[in-house]
């Protein structure tokens, strides 16, 4: 995690907005690069792995049609995308929204 100290920022009373904006831009660019590298390393989803394992190995569910309910539209979209890669053409996400 990137942490900054109070002394990392200007406090000289000078009103140099262009330099301040450039410094802010550089900080945000560095933060954006850090965030991208952090999210690229997050490749494991234990809950999704468990769901895949159950779908592939549980005799009561294997090769059956299923309905998975979720209160969250984001979860529906996420599962639809991930499960579609495992079961092409067999996954459908639906929302009342």
The first and second tokens of residue 30, run together, are: 């560095």
Task: Tell me the pLDDT of the chain averaged across its residues.
Answer: 83
Q: For residue 65, is pLDDT > 90?
A: no
Q: 71-78 long-range CB contacts below 8 Å, 24 or more apart?
A: 73/97
Percent of the chain with pLDDT over 70: 88
Q: For residue 46, is pLDDT > 80?
A: yes
Q: How confident is the model at residue 42, as a pLDDT?
A: 67
Give the relative orientation of helices 73-86 and 46-57 as an angle to the nearest 10 degrees. 50
What span, in angstroms and rounded, lies between the C-alpha atoms of 95 and 26? 40
Q: Is the dihedral of CA 60, 61, 67, 72 positive or negative?
A: positive
For 13, 55, 83, the CA distances from 49, given in Å and listed in that order, are 54, 10, 11
């Amino acid at each position: 995690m990137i942490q900054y100290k109070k002394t990392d920022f200007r406090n000289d009373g000078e009103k140099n907005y262009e330099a301040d904006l450039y410094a802010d831009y550089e900080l945000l660019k560095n933060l954006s690069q850090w965030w991208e590298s952090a999210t690229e390393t997050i490749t494991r989803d234990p809950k999704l792995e468990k769901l895949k394992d159950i779908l592939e190995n549980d005799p009561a569910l294997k090769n059956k049609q299923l309905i998975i309910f979720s209160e969250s539209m984001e979860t529906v979209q996420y599962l639809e995308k991930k499960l579609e890669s495992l079961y092409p053409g067999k996954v459908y996400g639906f929302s009342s929204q």
